[in-house]
Amino acid sequence: MPSERSHLIGSVAGLALAAGAVLAAVILSSTWRRIAESQVVTVTGSAHRNVRSDLAVWHASFSADADSILEAQKRLTSDRQKVEAFLQANAVKDFAILPVQIREITAHSDPGADSVPVTIGYRLTRNVEVRSADVESLPRLSSDSTDLIQQGVVFASQGIDFIYTKAGDAKVEMMAEATKDARTRAEQIANQGGRTIKALRSAKMGVVQINPLYSSATSWEGNNDTTSIEKTITATVTATFGLQ
C-alpha cells in the first residue's frame, strides 16, 4: 500500500507539472500572438539613483513663562542671547530666530462644570531654524543643545530635515533614463513576437518616489523623504512604441 500511494502521489505531481507547463506555454503563445498582431506596444521603464542630501535644516524652539508678557519677554530676550552664543560657539552661520509667538496660560478658578478659565500667565516662544550643507553636523549640534537646558533655557529640538536640493534636475535626467529602459523592455518583448520597435509614440512620467536608501516604498502622491541623509530616487515612465 505505501508504494502504491507513493506512485499515485508521484503521478498526480507529474500531471500537475505537465499541466502547469502547458498553461504557461498557452499564455506565452497568446502574448506573442498579440504582439505579432498589434501596431504598438506599451511598457513601463524605471530608473533608480542613490543620492546624498546636500542640505540639512534643524528646527528647534525656546520659550519663557511668566505672570506678565513683559516679564516673559525679559526672560526670552535673555534666553535668546544664550541661544545665539551657543550657535556662534559651534560655528553656525546660517540660522534664523523667528518672531515671538504669544500664548495665554489659563486655569479654571473653580473645578465645577460651569467654571470660566482665567489667565494666570503667558508663554512666549521663538522658533529657531538652522541650515547647513554639512548635513552630518546638525545631528551633533542637536545633541549638544542640552547645554542650553543646563543654562536654564527651556529649549526643545524638533527634528532635522535632510533635503536633496537637486531633485528637480535629477527627475528630468531620470525620465530620459526610464524611457531608455522602457525601450529596452519593449525591444525584448517585440523580438519575442518577431517584430521590431519603431518610433516612440508617447511617454508619461509616473510619480517620483524619494525614499530612504534602498527603500522601495510607494504612494499615489509620491514620497519625499526628509528623514535620512542617504536616499534613493525612483522614477517610472510608461511609454508606447510603434511596431513594424
Q: What is the pLDDT of residues 44-64, one digit of tens each?
A: 999 999 999 999 999 999 999
Instruction: Tell me the CA distances in angstroms from 28 to 21, 34, 45, 66, 108, one per residue in order.
Output: 11, 10, 21, 77, 75
CA 3/CA 98 separation, integer angstroms: 84
Q: Which of 188, 147, 244 is nearest to 31 (CA)?
A: 188
The three three-digit cell numbers of residue 73, written as one number: 519677554
* Confidence (pTM): 0.78
- The percent of the chain in helix, strand and coil, each rounded to the nearest 5, is 40, 35, 25
Burial zone of 116 (CB within 10 Å; 0-12 exposed, 13-18 middle, 19+ buried): exposed
Residue 156 above 90 pLDDT?
Answer: yes
> Contact 124/102 with Cβ under 8 angstroms?
yes
Rounded mean pLDDT, 14-18: 51
The residues, any chain, with a CB within 8 Å of residue 186's CB and separated by 6 or more, are 41, 43, 197, 239, 241
pLDDT score at 168: 94
* Neighbour tally for 230: CB within 10 Å: 15
Dist CA 101 CA 105 (whole Å): 13
Mean pLDDT for the stretch of residues 158-165:
98
CA 42 to chain centre: 28
CATH number of 39-54+164-244: 3.30.110.170
Assess whether the region 39-54+164-244 and the region 59-106+118-161 belong to the same CATH fold: no
Q: How far does Cα 24 stand from its chain's mean position?
A: 39
Domain 59-106+118-161 CATH (choose: 3.30.43, 3.40.50, 2.60.40, 3.30.70):
3.30.70
Distance of CA 139 to the CA centre of its chain: 19
Q: How high is the pLDDT of residue 35? A: 53
Percent of the chain with pLDDT over 90: 75
Query: Average model confidence (pLDDT) for the chain?
Result: 88
- The answer, yes or no, to whether residue 226 has pLDDT greater than 60, is yes
Instruction: Enumerate the domain spans of the chain.
Output: 39-54+164-244, 59-106+118-161
